Amino acid sequence: MGPCLFPPAQGRVKNIREVSQQNKSMKKQVFKLIAGMVLMLALVASPRAQIANGAASSIPAYYDHVLFTIHFVEFSPAAEKALLQHNKSLNFIYRSDPGLPGGQPFISVIDAIPGDGFNPIWEEVQITFTDSNTPRQLFSDNEVAAAVAAGEITLRFTGEVYWCPVVGQKH
């Protein structure tokens, strides 16, 4: 008995082996699509679930001298690693954990808001003031860049990634 033939598709006769290979290829593509969707859901659902559980905090952050309120939720270490490897459009949130003189907090600086290259996924960058410079509040990413250029501060990418939607302008 000869090979099993299917009706011609666009003038071509396919045998069972070709059809089987196409099915396997299609199954692989569907599996990759499902795996990608599951990963995206895990990355997005994790911080959102923390917000629903009250684990998120709202913090002030400056963008171009204007004070905004943002949610601040850290991704899991596995999600952070995946986002740093695969997301080339992260925004930056500049922080200085030691704070300012007199025990005052350093208010974070963000480099985008909705409508200006915004992505709610942020990589934390720690600001350290150099020994000869007194810590001060910076109000924009341009001021951060100028302070780096002047040798006033150094920057350290922490590898920590946060989901930080901007929820409004602070009044």
Instruction: Tell me the pLDDT tens digit for each residue of 10-33.
Output: 555 556 666 566 666 666 665 455
> Do 139 and 106 contact (CB within 8 A), yes or no?
no
CA distance 93 to 50: 20
The pLDDT of 33-59, averaged and rounded, is 53
Mean pLDDT over residues 118-140, rounded? 94
Provide mean pLDDT across the span 1-15.
54
Q: What single-letter amino acid sits at 3? A: P
pTM, full prediction: 0.67
> What one-character DSSP code corresponds to residue 89?
T
**pLDDT-above-70 percentage for the chain:** 66
